[in-house]
């Protein structure tokens, strides 16, 4: 089974941007174990800007482009250092690929990206992908890693994309405001009614929200890939997902129910 796991900033880092060590260690341990069991795993990891903010001891995410891009450059090093260190403990090798929207739009570059991805998986490596935030500008920006993860999942012909976030899944209403909100376990089709459930607020350091997650679901399911939104606070949920147990909200690939 080939899966793409997207890890959001809120899963990896504390609110101020510093690494959440316990969570990240647990995550790398579970992912290593799943890989040992024979799964092919690709990670799409956010956290570059967040960790750059933490490392520079800034008080909040910068709003100007230059500082944001500088923070991404600093945080991306920290991010890969941490992944390399933790996955090495379990004898796994990681590789970094940074892309922009221009790479996806350009046919040759997109093909090269898929070829590299496939070769890394054949070499038994864990590819870790992020947007190249330090060079992306408005015209060539994907903008959020939910969309990036969906593009990666379809490029790699993955069977499943898992978005690990700070929420359990899609609810019938905003669970922070409405105590009667119910988790929707399965979405067979992205109807207007479902799309209307997206608010657009993400975490303070990340970029995505439910809106970007639903647009990722559209890209994935139209390409024949299931998508799950699950809470990254408990990395062991990935075992249940691998066992086919219901976790979070599952969006079924086109026509499946």
Q: Which residues bind ligand GLU (CB under 6 A)?
A: 9, 46-50, 72, 130-131, 133, 144-145, 206-208
Judged by beta carbon, residue 48 or residue 230, the one nearer ligand GLU is 48
Q: Please give the C-alpha separations between residue 179 and each of 46, 118, 232, in angstroms, as whole numbers.
A: 30, 44, 21
Judged by beta carbon, residue 41 or residue 49, the one nearer ligand GLU is 49
User: Minimum distance between the CB of residue 203 and ligand GLU, rounded to whole angstroms?
Assistant: 8
Structure tokens at 215: 């647009």
100 exposure class (CB count in 10 Å sphere: 0-12, 13-18, 19+): buried
User: Minimum distance between the CB of residue 250 and ligand GLU, rounded to whole angstroms?
Assistant: 21
Residue with tokens 């994309």: 161
User: Minimum distance between the CB of residue 131 and ligand GLU, rounded to whole angstroms?
Assistant: 4
56 exposure class (CB count in 10 Å sphere: 0-12, 13-18, 19+): middle
User: Minimum distance between the CB of residue 198 and ligand GLU, rounded to whole angstroms?
Assistant: 15
Judged by beta carbon, residue 50 or residue 127, the one nearer ligand GLU is 50
Residues 186-224: b if buried by 16+ CB within 10 A, e if exposed: ebeebeeebeebbeeebbebbbbbbbbbbbbbbbbbebe
User: Minimum distance between the CB of residue 146 and ligand GLU, rounded to whole angstroms?
Assistant: 6
Judged by beta carbon, residue 48 or residue 117, the one nearer ligand GLU is 48
Number of neighbouring beta carbons within 10 Å of residue 21:
12
CA 254 to CA 59: how far, in whole Å? 43
Number of neighbouring beta carbons within 10 Å of residue 132:
22
User: Minimum distance between the CB of residue 142 and ligand GLU, rounded to whole angstroms?
Assistant: 8
Judged by beta carbon, residue 155 or residue 215, the one nearer ligand GLU is 215
Structure tokens at 66: 């230059």
User: Minimum distance between the CB of residue 201 and ligand GLU, rounded to whole angstroms?
Assistant: 13
Decide if 207 contacts 10 (C-beta within 8 A): no
Judged by beta carbon, residue 49 or residue 242, the one nearer ligand GLU is 49
Judged by beta carbon, residue 207 or residue 221, the one nearer ligand GLU is 207
Q: Which residues contact 239 (CB under 8 A, 6 or more apart)?
A: 30, 33, 34
């Amino acid at each position: 089974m080939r899966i793409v796991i997207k890890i959001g900033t809120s899963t990896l880092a504390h609110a101020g941007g510093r690494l959440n060590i316990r969570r990240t260690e647990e995550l790398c341990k579970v992912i290593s174990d799943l890989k040992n069991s024979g799964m092919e795993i690709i990670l799409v990891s956010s956290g570059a800007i967040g960790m750059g903010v933490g490392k520079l001891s800034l008080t909040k995410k910068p709003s100007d482009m230059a500082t944001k891009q500088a923070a991404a450059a600093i945080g991306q090093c920290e991010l890969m250092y941490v992944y390399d260190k933790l996955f090495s403990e379990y004898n796994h090798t990681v590789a970094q690929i940074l892309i922009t929207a221009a790479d996806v739009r350009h046919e040759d570059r997109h093909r090269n990206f898929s070829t590299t991805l496939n070769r890394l998986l054949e070499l038994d490596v864990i590819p870790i992908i992020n947007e190249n935030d330090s060079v992306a500008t408005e015209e060539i920006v994907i903008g959020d890693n939910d969309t990036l993860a969906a593009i990666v999942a379809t490029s790699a012909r993955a069977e499943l994309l898992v978005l690990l976030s700070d929420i359990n899944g899609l609810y019938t209403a905003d669970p922070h405001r409405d105590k009667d909100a119910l988790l929707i376990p399965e979405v067979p089709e992205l109807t207007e009614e479902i799309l209307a459930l997206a608010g657009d607020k993400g975490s303070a350091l990340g970029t995505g929200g439910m809106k970007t997650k639903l647009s990722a679901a559209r890209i994935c399911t139209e390409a024949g890939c299931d998508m799950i939104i699950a809470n990254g606070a408990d990395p062991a949920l990935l075992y249940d997902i691998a066992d086919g147990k219901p976790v979070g909200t599952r969006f079924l690939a086109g026509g499946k129910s």
